[in-house]
Structure 1
Amino acid sequence: MKRINPQFSVRRLRSLGCGFKFVAYNLLFNTVNYRPWTVICGLCTLLLIGCDDYLEENPDNRVELNTLNKAAQLLTNAYSDGGYNFVEWMGDMVTFTRGTTKLDKHNQAYEWAIIDDFTQDTPTYYWNQTYQAIAHANEVLAIVDQLPGEEDRRRAVKGEALLIRAYGHFMLVNLFAKHYDEATAASDPGVPYVLQPEKNFIAQYERASVQEVYDQVEGDLLAGLELVNDSFYANSGKYHFTRNAALAFASRFYLFKRDYQSCINYSSQMLGANPSVFVKDIAAINDQTINVEDYIRQYTSPSDPSNLLLMRKITSFQVNVGYWPDNAIYSERLFGNNPFNAEDVRVESLFQWGENGLYTAKFELLFERSSLTANTGFNYTIVVPFRGEEVLLNRAESYALLGQLDEAVADLQTLLDKRYDVPVTVDLETIASFMGTNDARVALIVYLFEIERPKEFVHEGLRWFDIKRYSLPVTHTLQDGSTIALAEDDNRKVLQIPQAAQDVGGLSPNPR
């Protein structure tokens, strides 16, 4: 007998003719290894005792969305608390390290195997939590146009919901499908693009193509960008999609879509006339902080202009370290690697984990108890999904790809002015010589995605998307010194659709 979906809405119980207390809900949906006759007997008992007492009560325990304030409050739960940093263990900036914790899910990610765990820091957890967030956004979008209230407020709530829905689907399609390629996107399987609230007992979905997902994301993104209004976020603006955060999303979207002029346009809208405002002053943070925790708090502070969007993520990424850069990767690929004979100030945030692993301080270890008296709970942290530095580097890369090299160099200079301990001068000759080529355009493009982007976004997960965007091979060293490889067009670069989504949702798996 197929188990009932535990996320099925309580409101479906109304069709049974009376309102059941939560005991009925628990009996129906939360019983493990239940027997059918047990459920039937329990329901009969409930029908026979006290049913009439609840006929006048609303059996639905959810908040009724009848005001704009309630709709806005629901959107605070529409930001997925699943993290995708697990892709760091799959990338080319990690290696086998000694004396570090290695769980099965770490090993599976490192070896590009199917990750069968469904807890935090896994593809399945990210999938589930992101579609749950999308469901919250859809609940708001289904009713927001009929809610009473100020029109500007309605537009702002609707805009935020559209941006949340677009962002969730965008991240899912870039993890669980091939990277966008105009020549094949119409036939490449994507992910389901969910536009309506979930109302079915057990829903069946179809995978939209990558092109269809991108088209839907673009529609929601542009519509949300027109509606979003920062003035309604009192004291918590950075935890919502503000206009700057939406512009940063557009910058990433069009870079991934390879529409480089649009990437430049939206990036420029966000960066304005003084892009350096949106570049974090790492040297100042180093000077002002007294310990690692203080550094992280300043790094992720809502008051830092470079931090455009903050999200709370349930994750143990910052403590369950399995594979990290070692000293060789550190010196050859990361912070010891530059053409300026200068020291990278980002090195100050590195510390050793295990015998030879290096970790950069970006995520504060926070803990939430399951109750006031419990000693159990879960780890969480605050992440910055969009930063000004990404927008600047997106624009620089787009300029370089379109052959506007002087503009690309100017953007790179803006970033590096705050990344080295002495003033550095960025010029094409220096970059080309360092990269070992006479082609200045190629040298600049490769320098951006092979040198500066990996440094700037280490541990944040963006490197994995660069690996997919540029079809980069990856080699991992195992404990015995042998190596395994991920080819340029390897199917394993596409995360597998979670097993439950295949079995219950009817989704076709990705090829292996």
Structure 2
Amino acid sequence: MKYTYTLLIVLSLCCSGCNDFLNEAPDNRIEVNTLDKASELLVAAYPNVDYLFTDWFTEEAEYIETNNQTPLMTESFMWEELGSYDDTNSPSGYWYAAYKSIAQANSALEALENIEDEDDVYRNAIKGEAFLCRAYSHFMIATLFCNNYDSTTAIKDMGIPYVAESEKQLIKEYDRGTLANTYEKIEADLLAGLKLVSDDYYSGSKKYHFTKQAAYAFASRFYLYKKDYNKSIEYADKVFGGSAINKAYIKDLIAYSEQSGVTEKMQFYINNGDASNILIVEKLVSIGLRHNYGYRTAIKSWNALFEATIFSGNDFRYRYMSYYGDGSRNVIKAAKFDEEFYKESLTATTGYPFYVQAVFRGEDLLFNRIESYIQLGDLDKALNDLNEFSQYRYSTPVTLTISDVQTYYTTVDEEGVTVVPSEKEALLQLCLSEKRKEYIHEGMRWFDIKRYNIEVTHITFDHKKLVLEKNDLRKVLQIPIDATEAGLTKNPR
């Protein structure tokens, strides 16, 4: 499983697109000889490329006749091997951006070893953030490009190269290793970061860096995906401050609805003063947010998704969040992210489009906990959380029983036989359904499709039916072409 990886691939190519204009890292020629300079390196240690491309793999995307299509979007929609490259809206773009972020974290860690400063508390805080950044980027790469973690198969499944030091030679060999080994290293960095990270050295909202709360949120998701459900609950509760839902971390959609227009709603949604936005990352974007490009959610599908509910009253997400790109397109979009433009200078006519996204939200913690309760068999606790959450998302909340949920998800098969799901299956369906609605158009649905082997059907422009089967190998994204040409083993197909 060894391959040769060059600096050109790891660093130069990943920087070949837009410059990291959002970051204020020091010039690489400046010696990083103070703690402040080491800290500044970490501004660029968060992947500044979006993963909205995952929406094109899901049931949220469909062919929109009036939209402009790009080869990348079409290949993604049809789950084909991606021959097109986009440095902001593609798996390869995310791969390179994440490894670039890892390189920044490693540079900061190595710089700290040579800086003579007696402020060990500050030094440890920087080190903690660097460990967390390195763990997060590796985790995201593994989540996209590796199998789901399963303790019974992870010792055989392929992992990803875990880069824990800066490259100091032109050609260096890496071992892709196993997924078990990858997760062990992620967890080691995560725990080291949790121990050291501090909130005391950030100014402003503190939302653009790993704080203690952001680290707990990351840990909750990591352990959910690792299927260590007790720990996922433990870290969710650390943010909530106990087993009760802390309303401050659930986005207020009534206040959202009171904003004066679509742009104001988008700005409210991502406001860095909102406790529900736990970790915010600035990201480059091109067509990822633009309704007039590619495969999007049609109006009829949007309506069907939100009208199908066991809860009563108006769904605030359905009522307040949708808007039409323009009157001529059969497409609808959630008012969540506001695309902005960064000019290269005050008088420049060129620059880069970007947006900001909360990569960890308070709602993450709730859904992590609900899912973990279900998997552990604590069904009453899961249902209590779902019932309470409905109070923040529906105009007429109801208190459901497990029997209510089972009845709602009862189906009749092709032979006319009534199929009643188990209590666990019914609650899991409800959890994933509410999570899908909550995170629509945020690039999150794909991870649940992959983790729970959910089948997806797409209809092409010429009315052909394409199916991504439950256990389809294509759910593990293919390693970028440049990396495989350098010798990295491809994922099986």
Q: Tell me if both proteins adopt one fold, taking TM over 0.5 as the criterion.
A: yes
Distance in 1 between residues matched to 2:341 and 2:281, nearest whole Å: 15
Moved more, 298-307 or 335-344: 335-344
Distance in 2 between residues matched to 1:8 and 1:409, nearest whole Å: 46
1:334-379 deviation digits (Å, cap 9, x = unpaired): 2222112311101211112352221111110111224444322221
**Equivalent pair of 1:292/1:361 in contact (CA under 8 Å):** yes
2:295 — aligned with what? 323
**Equivalent pair of 1:323/1:357 in contact (CA under 8 Å):** no
**Equivalent pair of 2:312/2:395 in contact (CA under 8 Å):** no
**Equivalent pair of 1:308/1:387 in contact (CA under 8 Å):** yes
1:486 — aligned with what? 468
Instruction: Kindly provide the amino acid, as one letter, of the partner of residue 184 in structure 2.
Output: D
Instruction: Kindly provide the amino acid, as one letter, of the partner of residue 416 in structure 1.
Output: S
Moved more, 142-151 or 96-105: 142-151
Q: Map residues 33-432 of structure 1 onto 2, 5 A cutoff.
A: 61-115=28-82, 116-147=84-115, 148-273=117-242, 274-287=245-258, 289-316=259-286, 317-319=288-290, 321-332=293-304, 334-347=305-318, 348-353=320-325, 355-432=329-406
The SS at the match of 2:175 is: coil
Compute the displacement of 1:69 (Å).
Answer: 0.7
**Equivalent pair of 2:11/2:100 in contact (CA under 8 Å):** no
Return 5+ residue gaps in structure 2 as ranges. 17-26, 411-419
1:178-216 deviation digits (Å, cap 9, x = unpaired): 111211111111210000012121333221211111110
Q: Are 2:489 and 1:508 equivalent residues in the alignment?
A: yes
Moved more, 484-493 or 137-146: 137-146
Distance in 2 between residues matched to 1:179 and 1:124, nearest whole Å: 19
**Equivalent pair of 1:153/1:232 in contact (CA under 8 Å):** yes
Moved more, 305-314 or 488-497: 488-497
Relative to structure 1, the CA distance from residue 140 to residue 98 in structure 2 (aligned partners, 3 Å threshold; closer, same or farther) is same
The count of corresponding residues between Structure 1 and Structure 2 is: 460
Distance in 1 between residues matched to 2:479 and 2:352, nearest whole Å: 25
Distance in 1 between residues matched to 2:211 and 2:49, nearest whole Å: 21
Compute the displacement of 1:438 (Å).
Answer: 5.5
Q: Are 2:434 and 1:452 equivalent residues in the alignment?
A: yes
Distance in 1 between residues matched to 2:303 and 2:272, nearest whole Å: 32
Distance in 2 between residues matched to 1:455 and 1:319, nearest whole Å: 20
Higher relative contact order (CA 8 A, sep 6+): 2
Distance in 1 between residues matched to 2:11 and 2:269, nearest whole Å: 40
Compute the displacement of 1:146 (Å).
Answer: 4.1
Identity %: 38
The SS at the match of 2:323 is: strand
Instruction: Kindly provide the amino acid, as one letter, of the partner of residue 180 in structure 2.
Output: Q
**Equivalent pair of 2:7/2:167 in contact (CA under 8 Å):** no
1:230-259 deviation digits (Å, cap 9, x = unpaired): 111111410001111111111111111111
Compute the displacement of 1:284 (Å).
Answer: 1.6
2:423 — aligned with what? 440
Distance in 1 between residues matched to 2:358 and 2:400, nearest whole Å: 27
**Equivalent pair of 1:276/1:414 in contact (CA under 8 Å):** no
Moved more, 321-330 or 274-283: 321-330
Query: Which aligned runs of 4 or more in structure 1 are off by greater than 6 angstroms?
Result: 7-10
More helix per residue: 1
Relative to structure 1, the CA distance from residue 8 to residue 168 in structure 2 (aligned partners, 3 Å threshold; closer, same or farther) is closer
Distance in 2 between residues matched to 1:489 and 1:185, nearest whole Å: 16
Q: Calculate the TM-score normalised by the size of structure 2.
A: 0.89
Distance in 1 between residues matched to 2:338 and 2:474, nearest whole Å: 31
Compute the displacement of 1:399 (Å).
Answer: 0.5
Return 5+ residue gaps in structure 1 as ranges. 11-28, 31-59
Relative to structure 1, the CA distance from residue 439 to residue 4 in structure 2 (aligned partners, 3 Å threshold; closer, same or farther) is closer
Distance in 2 between residues matched to 1:415 and 1:261, nearest whole Å: 21
Distance in 2 between residues matched to 1:100 and 1:319, nearest whole Å: 10
Instruction: Kindly provide the amino acid, as one letter, of the partner of residue 156 in structure 2.
Output: S
Relative to structure 1, the CA distance from residue 4 to residue 158 in structure 2 (aligned partners, 3 Å threshold; closer, same or farther) is closer
Distance in 1 between residues matched to 2:37 and 2:135, nearest whole Å: 21
Instruction: Kindly provide the amino acid, as one letter, of the partner of residue 389 in structure 1.
Output: E
Compute the displacement of 1:8 (Å).
Answer: 9.0
The SS at the match of 2:447 is: helix
Root-mean-square deviation (CA), in Å? 2.2
Distance in 2 between residues matched to 1:61 and 1:178, nearest whole Å: 36
1:39 — aligned with what? none
